Structure 1
């Protein structure tokens, strides 16, 4: 825990290129003495914070925060947390319960605002990537802003809901919801909304695909660039007590302007995930997430960057036409894959066929602080010195209150400073600015949590921070709510508590562990309230709960000065949390992005001998550094996930697969339902060396223009190593590495379990003629373990510097998993592209085998079946018997996923139906279509 940390300013510097391959000397700025701050945990762990999304501080210093599953939590100032209420939400990919806001007249009306995805009309499964307009309409939904009453007892009055505003949503398609709420001094409500656009089929550049039969969710011009749409915006309205609203003067489009929405204050935003309004000036501060292209491309546009925006007046902030300091994207035709001209940021035009607003848009406004990997040195790395992903969290501006008697309010010299957060890089920065917004200085700020999710200053002048934790989609032990105080009058004890059991049948014996630290006092006293009317003392008491109930056990530490710190843990007696085990895929299994993933989940619950598999939720998420994007979700204990192929992130980025499963029981013993969760990680076959889990000794990262991903691991000496966790190498036969050496060279060894564990392969690395000269080397693997383990890449050799490692790759056979040849069906005939044409929607048929290109099919290992440069496709992602099977350009959708079965059939997981030769004669030109699986002759296929 943070106790009495001194404010320090440290500007990280990137490692220089090799200079005679001497060891790097990093230069850190010296710490500057300053105010002492204390980070106090108020709530921690998934039981108390869920999957934390947004927070709001109440006048009595209690904190409301939302969990994406629909739960609204209330934590009082002493750290006692309870569930205020729960909404029934749609929670596919990023949607669910997002923002929470407190009405400016809360003391009189108890009104709060929630932004959430109502469950009514929820479609099943993932939205199709291609199809008809009717197909897409099945997946239309909304995100809703509603006004509620919070009762005096801290419970949410669900019946008090007054719907304020609905924002359209394309359900079943990731990503970008936005969802933050704030107010200005005049009581106007501001709501941030994301562009609701799929970023994974645009190669990390601007998603503007309006091709025929394309899902509109792949075109951000329909939303963020549309003057007649509420998505990708900052909205500004004045809400009345009955939920109706009026439009304040000064929004972007005057009320009544044709093809516009008057609610829009700012447009052209991608995912303005967190924002705040400085009530003194009316300036809106926004953190806007950007795309992930590794570098600029003259045919597509700028590389990935993100933005902090300072909005002083209504305007268009460019997306999806421009980004950063008005760096323009290229008008790219996704159907022809041809580039046009760059967009004009001074006069952008929206020519999308999905646009319902104005064609001529307001000029794009440049970002206040755009940044990428190293453009802003103070933002360059995370708190541990790692690059991380750019993920700006728009925090608050601090305003010093002369009239406040609070002993913990921030210092007066911080007045007007903007507090910027970073989710992926896990920092908070204090930015000093002039009256015109000129950045004068960027200062480090003490933060010892993990991924910053939301921040706000309370009436006491302390900074309240919501920490997402390090898990994905469900919260983990690091998920937390903190209060950061200025410790002007001394430090408060920092308390923490844990228990060996937090659920089970009565009588339930629980062993508690309390911990407390205090930076300026050693003589602490400890007390316990077990929540059932009994008390305790000491640090490690044991208590037995005799009756069913849900109890909050509170541990309190008090110092001699009277400062009190407390922590609590919830204990449920009468119900036992279900145990969820992911049998397949195994944790650490190698994965190609876009491949179908067969899964099997086992759930056990002593209170429910018969598990309802329809209540088991299984998700696939794409992990990127410290965050994840949910891409696919299904129900069941067994089945196949069909995630789309990632087309946004650079293949050299730190990306990986995540499969998570959860089950919520029915409750037992009169207690509320409990949820069990499990998650496995699927590392990619190809990985950059710099994304190691741990390292030995003096290894360093080197910036190199010729390196994949821009960095190598170097300054290696005999016995140095890097490790990666988890890995399961079942089926891996080769290891290839990309290396450079201006030194002695040596050997790269693969070990499992430890640096001296079993040796599975050695690669000789000869000098390459210089540290910037790269070569690929490989070895055959032997005796790889059929279990989840940690892998170690060990550098071996003589004295001095050996070699640098750029990246490495596992393969399962000599082709890397790809297979090419004929697909044979009934009567020995071959699957054939009619006429050998490569036009979209060309019929696939049976024909006598003739070894032509029209009958050469490749299974690249990503779930697709390809010929003539295109993919085997189900027309419009249909599910009806008889739906045409055709050739179509590869687009990573569920319509192009195929899974060979043990019974000889080939199934499309989206429909659950089989590749079928029509009829029962099966001569030349017999069409192939989709049909209910029956396993008879016309559904039997031999693959290459």
Structure 2
């Protein structure tokens, strides 16, 4: 089982100007003692800054309660030896540095919940080891000459970046990467290619990021080429924050993020103060003064949305985020008509951090594990869907509440509270993503990790999962319950699953973990723990209206499979829904229209996922559509190797694709499968028609 995260720790540094001389990094005496392995073996170019890097990490350890073991001996990568370390740092490693057995030991180490830190040339390492490439988030491609550049720090709520200015100007060797990690990681900082010469990634050039992967944590920074880097105070604090995150001494929301609109990141346009008190606005940070008042975004009211922000308390301080209140100059309007998501970590259960104030306590165990202590930044996501509020603290769901009060309605405005003199709370990077109208009588999708109660399972952070998490650690006899789900009228169940294990059976029940079975479906091994598939089953005996439903699990052994989400389908039986998205296959590569062409006959291929229109498909009936045309079998052919192409939609069987329980896509005319030629994961490999089998090259995750 994964190790429980250890509750937060002290703040890093106060903000330090990028031109400040090097100085000791503030100690974190509250961090329980831990151990770090620094690995700096090179099989290619060797950086002359490695000794300075090792010494810098030793200095950080001495000041911050962790031991440091430095080695270039790959024999250290055994299961028994790695178990003693909370994090492993790859310090400018290059080339192939581990053999197959050592790679397996490291994969198992990460699966136990431990952490990885990659520094600079760690991205120039192990190109033939897919696990490593996914763990680090991106491989090195090229670099220009060493020069000064501007770093745009876009996430200032992480321990590695909270102390940094919004624009950090410094000198280093600036890497270009083969792929953009933004789709699988939370980018902390990106390069302004207009500030230097030789950038090769364009307007979005990530340089530092974090992620969860394979059960563990990953932090990577592209900085660290020069010897002088390791004497910089800002870089040392940056590195310390990454190590503390990887070692689970600091918590953060490292789920990938796209599509958010900034409401505040320094400018207060559109905001209004209701009631007494105010907020100071310095360094793109709002800090409460006096009160009790409310600083609210008065330009727009919202219905279903994801609201994200970073917050920090100085000590025993009180504040909250209000949602679902009407426009008013009276802050009591929000108190009486809306809901407050509390921040104060010291009050009673129903009015402490993560609580829906006065209505529902947070899951205190989950809250305590996810909470950073006073002085450190914390991240909230407040997910409002219709009359349901879910609260995520540093990426972990800690509350799930549904409004049933006829006097209150979650449609409304959002705001932050200034509670009173002495309650000093700061906020950063307030942003929102509108989700559209919530489902009413249509299909109902439930995130599997959003259970009301459970036995034996837990939420697991996973790259590629919707909302960044799956329901995992599933074994024979485990179950998860979901209260008050609108199942009335459902005729089938669709589930997005992933398994690198033996697979098993998923059952849906009502009334209890041993209640009547509405339907069951086999979940296969999908090819890996990061290769998702969709399974379907018909339902019978479905209650009318809302019901408490249970997922129960059966199979031999442990680690059967994970469930990402499941949908009660009411609009036409099994099969993916209408939402647009990528079709993802072997190696995490995406089905792609070659060259983005729209001419009939354009070849279909696989390519590194990029979220572009040539990789965005919509499921309409039994067709998959991109760029206004359909996925098609050339000439309605049935022979193995027949070309798969883009073609004007015409309603023929050549364009009908039926998703199967094992993740294959079967063409209705030929009864053969969509397949990647030769089982290759190389960009540009064509897809074709082929006799259906057990190969991973025929397993696809489709828009759902």
TM-score under structure 1 length normalisation: 0.24
- Indicate the structure with greater helix content: 2
Structure number with bigger Rg: 1
